[in-house]
Each structure stands twice: as structure tokens, then as C-alpha cells.
Amino acid sequence: MKIQQSTRQIERRLGDATRRILPRPVAELIMFTLKQAWACLFAALMLGGLIVSDLIWDDAWVIQRYDALFVYAISLQVLFLIFKLESLTEARVILLFHITGTAMEIYKVKMGSWAYPEPGFFKLWGVPLFSGFMYASVGSFMARVIRIFDMRFAPYPPFWMTFILGAAIYLNFFTHHYIFDIRLLLFAATFILFIRTRVWFRIAQKYYWMPLPVAAFFTSFFLWVAENVGTGTGTWVYAGTDGLSFVSLAKMGSWYLLLYVSFVTVTLVTREALIKEPISNPKIADAPSGKGRE
């Protein structure tokens, strides 16, 4: 709790300082960017691990790079729990996304969609076990950004509908290899189901909002950038590419859809943020209690 309180105090002091010397819109944009970066901490550290290990690794070393990344990822997760950057409840849901992500990795590697070219001891059917943490980092971001920005989602569609959509998206990543790819229908379904849903987020004492599909689009773009880091460091290689060219923009669409799977999974433990009716502006007093918050 001390760390969580200190980060809140730093946020307030930094926000007050920037608003004193900069126009309010500029100051709010800076605070928004900094809070987003703080929410991305796990993902940023994972990407940093990919970059640094690629730069320094020597094939003659006793431990393989993939195995070192696996140990590194586990250590990060443990530290996040020790320092209460994630709650145990959130970690359980993130673990679920880790498992579903690893299952999809195994299937996709088997189908030849991409490959992990380096050797490693902690590999399962050609998939290094650290790869599941790349999916878990998306779940971690979801859980943390909802907390850090005191987010509200309103009006939120019936939960069972969102669950069916998430399941359909996940299954399509498997079934499109054998039957018709329904991703265009799934894109349409995300808009139909969520176009009215506003993502309310707090900066200082003021709430702002954007449509949920727009938020998902921007997030998918940054995940596409992260994909390019992964291929650029040779950590994984897509079929038919040399690892030097940009990842296809179609992958951004895949991440856009996968974000809904992650989002629905995380909402299992953030149900208080889901509001059935439209709201004009959340009240600060209505924000979550702050348990496990930073």
C-alpha cells in the first residue's frame, strides 16, 4: 500500500507542477501519456528484455536466450506481486490469459504461421514458455490501466454477449485454418456491441471519454509496434518474412480482435467498472475503493 500511495502522491505533485507551467490541455496530455506508460510497465519491461538480450547474447553462454527470458518473465511477475503492482485476483485472471495465449502459440507454430528459431530448454512443442508472458503483459496492461485511470465503461452491453464475442474471436484464430474466416463479421460485431460504450478515464479530478472501439484501435497499433520489436530482435519469425521488414498491418487487426478477448477476461475481476446505463460523467466518489491500486 505504501508504494501505491507514493505513486498517487507523485502523480498529484507532477500533475500540479505541469499545470502550473503549461496550458491545461498540454499538461493533461502529458499526464495521460505518463499514466499510460505506467500502466504498460510489465509490457515495456518484457520488450526491454527482448531488445537487451538480442544485443548482448552470446550463443556460447551456458543458458539459452529463451530460457533466460523465461526466468526474467517469472521474476517480473513475482516482483509485481511483491510490490503490489498487481493484486492476486488480477494475477489469476492474467494467468488464464497466459494459458490461453500459450495454447494459441502452440497451435499457430504447428500450423506454420510463425516460428521461434532459437533453441531452448523451456520449450513446449516448439514454443518457448516465455511467450505466454507476452500475452500476459496485455492482460496486465488491461488490469492496470483500468485501475490507474479509474476507468468506467458505460453503457456496457450484457456481459453474456461480450463473453460469447470473446469466445468466438478466440476460436476463430484456430478454426480459420480449416473453415471460413469470420474475422470481418467479428470486426462488425465489436462495433455493433460496443459502439455506444464510452471508456471514461480520470486525469487529476476530471473525467474524459472515448468510444471503446477507438481505444481498442489505438491500443492495437501500439501492439503492432511491439510485434515489430519482437521480429526485429529475431525472437520470432513470421512465415514468408526475413525478420527485417515490417510486420503486416493485418496483424494489427488480429491484435484489435485479441484485445477484446483480453478485455472480457479482465472484466471478470473488474465488474464494478461496468455500468449498464449511459452516464454523463462519473463522480470521483464513485471510483473503485482503491484496493490494490497505485
The mean pLDDT value of the chain amounts to 88
Question: Is residue 25 assigned to a domain?
Answer: no
Question: Is residue 184 assigned to a domain?
Answer: yes
Give the residue, 1 or 245, on which the prediction is more confident.
Answer: 245
| Confidence bin at 182 (pLDDT 50/70/90) | very high
Span 148-181, pLDDT tens digits: 999 999 999 999 999 999 999 999 999 998 998 9
Question: Is residue 209 assigned to a domain?
Answer: yes
- What number of other Cβ atoms are within 10 A of residue 211's Cβ? 15
Cell numbers placing 145: 490501466
| Confidence bin at 15 (pLDDT 50/70/90) | confident
DSSP string, 138-177: HHHHHHHHHHHTT-EEESPPPHHHHHHHHHHHHHHHHHTT
pLDDT for residue 276: 93
Question: Is residue 267 assigned to a domain?
Answer: yes
pLDDT for residue 284: 56
CA dihedral of 91, 93, 96, 98, whole degrees rounded to 10:
-50
Question: Is residue 294 assigned to a domain?
Answer: no
| Confidence bin at 5 (pLDDT 50/70/90) | low
Residue 1 pLDDT exceeds 50: no
Span 112-129, pLDDT tens digits: 889 999 999 999 999 999
**Residue 81 is part of which domain span?**
40-286
Question: Is residue 27 assigned to a domain?
Answer: no
List of residues 6+ apart from 127 with CB closer than 8 A:
102, 105, 106, 109, 116
Structurally, how many domains does the chain consist of? 1
Question: Is residue 208 assigned to a domain?
Answer: yes
* Mean pLDDT, rounded, for 213-233: 91
Span 228-251, pLDDT tens digits: 888 888 888 887 666 556 778 888
Question: Is residue 275 assigned to a domain?
Answer: yes
